[in-house]
Amino acid sequence: MSFREIAVTIRAVNHASAEFNRIQTDAESLATKVRSLGAAIAGIGAAGTAIGYIANQFGLLNDSQTRVFTSGMMVVSVMGMFMRTSAGVAVAQKVYAAATAFATVVQNSLNISFATFLALTGVGIAVIVAAAAAMYGFANSMNSATASVQSFNASTAETPTRSRSVTRAGEDELYRRGVE
């Protein structure tokens, strides 16, 4: 191994390390955002529970409505607290990855439909015209070739049979070898 090969290897590792660091930074940033969102959701759930209790005290909600509302707000609080744990962050990252994959599929389908749109509008018409011109050129060259072959056949038909049967010396041997 030469020094040049070692230098190339070191550069490749450094580029890969930078990408891994970027991915790690993105993941940590997402985890921080998810934990922050979890704290906010837990706060909303706790505030909702308190609001339900106060609404019951002032007579805005009866006991059964307060129980249902308070239970719902407790579920929201638990979800927020779960999002603050590492398992909750992992679930959020998986949901984010799935959403990103879905967005990629949607974007690809939009790109395909845009390409189809271009093919069916101006760009597509230009391609069709170019293909038609190429086919016209090919058809003309085939017509020329056909006319040439017909002319050759007509000339050959007019040539007497005795002159068509003249062969070069050694040609029979070549024909015989080709058959074998």
pLDDT in tens, 75-110: 999 888 888 888 888 887 888 888 888 888 888 777
**66 neighbors 53 (Cβ within 8 angstroms):** yes
Residue 14 has pLDDT above 70, yes or no: no
- How far, in whole angstroms, is CA 144 from its chain's centroid? 46
Q: What H or E segment, with its residue span, contains residue 84?
A: none
CA distance 47 to 29: 27
DSSP alpha helices (H): ranges in the chain? Answer: 3-57, 63-83, 86-120, 122-158, 161-164, 171-179
CA distance 102 to 99: 5
Higher pLDDT, 53 or 90: 53
Q: Please check whether residue 3 lies inside any domain of the structure.
A: yes
CA distance 110 to 169: 71
Q: Please check whether residue 40 lies inside any domain of the structure.
A: yes
Indicate the range of 11-15, 34-38, 73-77, 145-149 predicted with least confidence: 11-15
Confidence (pLDDT) at 54: 92
Q: Please check whether residue 38 lies inside any domain of the structure.
A: yes
Q: Please check whether residue 96 lies inside any domain of the structure.
A: no
Q: What H or E segment, with its residue span, contains residue 167?
A: none
What pTM value is reported for the model?
Answer: 0.46
Q: Please check whether residue 114 lies inside any domain of the structure.
A: no
Cα-based torsion angle of the residue sequence 14, 17, 23, 28 in order, rounded to the nearest 10 degrees: -120
Domain that holds residue 19: 1-85
* DSSP category for residue 1: -
Indicate the range of 36-40, 138-142, 156-160, 174-178 predicted with least confidence: 174-178
Confidence (pLDDT) at 37: 86
Q: Please check whether residue 115 lies inside any domain of the structure.
A: no
Residue 160 has pLDDT above 60, yes or no: yes
Confidence (pLDDT) at 161: 62
* DSSP category for residue 166: -
CA distance 151 to 47: 98
Q: Summarize the confidence of residues 58-71 as an average pLDDT.
A: 91
Q: Please check whether residue 147 lies inside any domain of the structure.
A: no
Confidence (pLDDT) at 157: 74
Share of the chain above pLDDT 70, in %: 73
Number of structural domains in the chain: 1
Q: Please check whether residue 2 lies inside any domain of the structure.
A: yes
